[in-house]
């Protein structure tokens, strides 16, 4: 430990999408800190917004365990997905992307966007119910489908029927033919558990900022398919409100998350929709770690205004300021307005350029070097802890491989 009162460095990034997972980024940042300040204690706490890395972040923070289950992927093919357990097995953790994620259908296409579903997420939820948890946390993000949680509903015992009484095929496009929803077969165990859905976006289900127009193109949908999906989601919301009650669910912030899976969890499973970053911070014990930290380093691939409006990096910055802890954000790239706002919070920003790396190893190296240089030569406007740089440590020393 360097300097009087200088506590450990807390490393708490989220995923650098497209290059590094939250865990890999944390290791790279820790290596950069170690290269600059070999005597300083470093604690690692990977985080998530509710999407990518949700399961790993919570299990790492709570020493949880994984159990693997056979479920259907987004296209209905069998595969295995993890189910996490925390707190003496009383809290189950599910990550949608690991059950019915976009990776299952890569590269996505208009057809896959139209027919992908969430049945596998419902199967994983049923597997959690088999062990009678008190609470189930579901991370939403990275989905392949835009079915409004219709597949999830079917896996939980609902029947989604057309005018002829036939069950609809999978996918959001088929929902345009939805005539009625029967809930008599709903799994009764849903009433005995608290379900919380962590959303990485605040989009509603419908409208110009809804699930289909906002996220459909990312899942391979062309304009015609986006229109079909939007019509299907609108029909689902109408019929669900009529047959199941729950008026206004389509307009909830986060209802459009994961192709409308947020709406599906609320309508069919009674889930509460919350922002993912604060939930992960609470479960991971971020405030507890900040109590003893001298500096916290967080980061993500691209830092923009949304980072400060509900994402994990913004959550770390706000909590660090409240705790009186210096904060550094490291990112592959940054938006100028976001950088200016970050500066007003007294936090630092370092750019790594890792997004242009040709390999994960190169991305880790760039990230480590950016952190090392920032530690050794902090800018005057940063609210940086006072300490003495170890003798013999100079800029230009390459950090050890993470």
Residue 176 near residue 288 (C-beta atoms within 8 A): no
What pLDDT score does 1 carry? 34
- Shared-domain flag, residues 131 and 272: yes
CATH number, residue 299: 3.40.50.10350
Mean pLDDT of 279-288: 95
pLDDT by residue (tens digit) across 157-195? 999 999 999 999 999 999 999 999 999 999 999 999 999
- Shared-domain flag, residues 193 and 238: yes
- Shared-domain flag, residues 41 and 58: no
Q: Which residues of 377-401 are buried (b: 16+ CB within 10 A; e: fewer)?
A: ebeeebbbbebeeeeeeeeeeebee
Asked if the structure places residue 351 within a domain, the reply is yes
pLDDT at residue 383 tops 80 = no
pTM of the entire predicted model: 0.90
For tokens 């699930």, what's the residue?
211
- Shared-domain flag, residues 211 and 150: yes
- Shared-domain flag, residues 60 and 41: no
pLDDT at residue 374 tops 70 = yes
- Among the ranges given (99-103, 208-212, 304-308), the one the predictor scored with the smallest mean pLDDT: 304-308
- Shared-domain flag, residues 189 and 319: no
CATH number, residue 240: 3.90.1510.10
- Shared-domain flag, residues 263 and 125: yes
What pLDDT score does 292 carry? 94
pLDDT at residue 400 tops 80 = no
Q: What is the chain's mean pLDDT, rounded?
A: 91
DSSP string covering 75-95: TS-EEEEEEEEETTTTEEEEE
Asked if the structure places residue 396 within a domain, the reply is no
- Shared-domain flag, residues 142 and 90: yes
- Shared-domain flag, residues 228 and 345: no
Domain that holds residue 149: 54-277
Total count of domains within the chain: 2
- Shared-domain flag, residues 261 and 349: no
């Amino acid at each position: 430990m360097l300097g009087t009162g200088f506590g450990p460095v807390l490393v708490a990034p989220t995923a650098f999408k497209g290059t590094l997972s939250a865990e890999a980024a944390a290791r790279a940042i820790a290596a950069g800190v170690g290269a600059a300040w070999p005597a300083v204690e470093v604690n690692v706490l990977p985080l998530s917004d509710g999407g990518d890395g949700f399961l790993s972040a919570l299990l790492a923070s709570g020493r949880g365990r994984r159990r693997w289950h056979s479920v259907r992927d987004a296209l209905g093919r069998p595969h295995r997905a993890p189910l996490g357990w925390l707190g003496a097995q009383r809290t189950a953790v599910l990550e949608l992307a690991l059950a019915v994620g976009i990776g299952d259908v890569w590269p996505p296409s208009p057809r896959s966007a139209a027919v992908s579903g969430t049945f596998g997420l419902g199967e994983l939820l049923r597997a959690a119910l088999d062990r009678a948890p008190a609470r189930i946390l579901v991370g939403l993000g990275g989905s392949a489908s835009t079915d409004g949680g219709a597949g999830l509903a079917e896996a939980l015992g609902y029947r989604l029927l057309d005018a002829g009484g036939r069950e609809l095929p999978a996918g959001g496009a088929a929902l345009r033919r939805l005539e009625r929803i029967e809930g008599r077969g709903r799994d009764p165990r849903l009433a005995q558990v608290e379900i919380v859905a962590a959303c990485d976006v605040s989009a509603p289900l419908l409208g110009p900022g809804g699930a289909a127009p906002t996220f459909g193109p990312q899942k391979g949908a062309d304009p015609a398919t986006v229109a079909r999906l939007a019509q299907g989601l609108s029909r689902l919301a109408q019929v669900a409100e009529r047959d199941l009650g729950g008026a206004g669910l389509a307009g909830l912030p986060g209802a459009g998350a994961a192709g409308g899976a947020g709406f599906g969890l609320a309508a069919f499973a009674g889930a509460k929709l919350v922002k993912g970053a604060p939930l992960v911070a609470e479960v991971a014990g971020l405030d507890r770690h900040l109590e003893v930290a001298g500096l916290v380093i967080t980061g993500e691939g691209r830092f923009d205004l949304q980072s400060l409006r509900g994402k994990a990096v913004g959550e770390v910055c706000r909590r660090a300021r409240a705790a009186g802890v210096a904060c550094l954000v490291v990112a592959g790239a940054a938006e100028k307005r976001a950088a200016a706002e970050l500066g007003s919070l007294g936090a630092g920003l370092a750019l790594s350029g890792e997004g242009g790396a040709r390999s994960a190893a190169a991305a880790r190296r760039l990230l480590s070097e950016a952190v090392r240089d920032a530690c050794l030569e902090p800018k005057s406007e940063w609210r940086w802890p006072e300490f003495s740089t170890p003798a013999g440590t100079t800029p230009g020393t390459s950090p050890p491989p993470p």
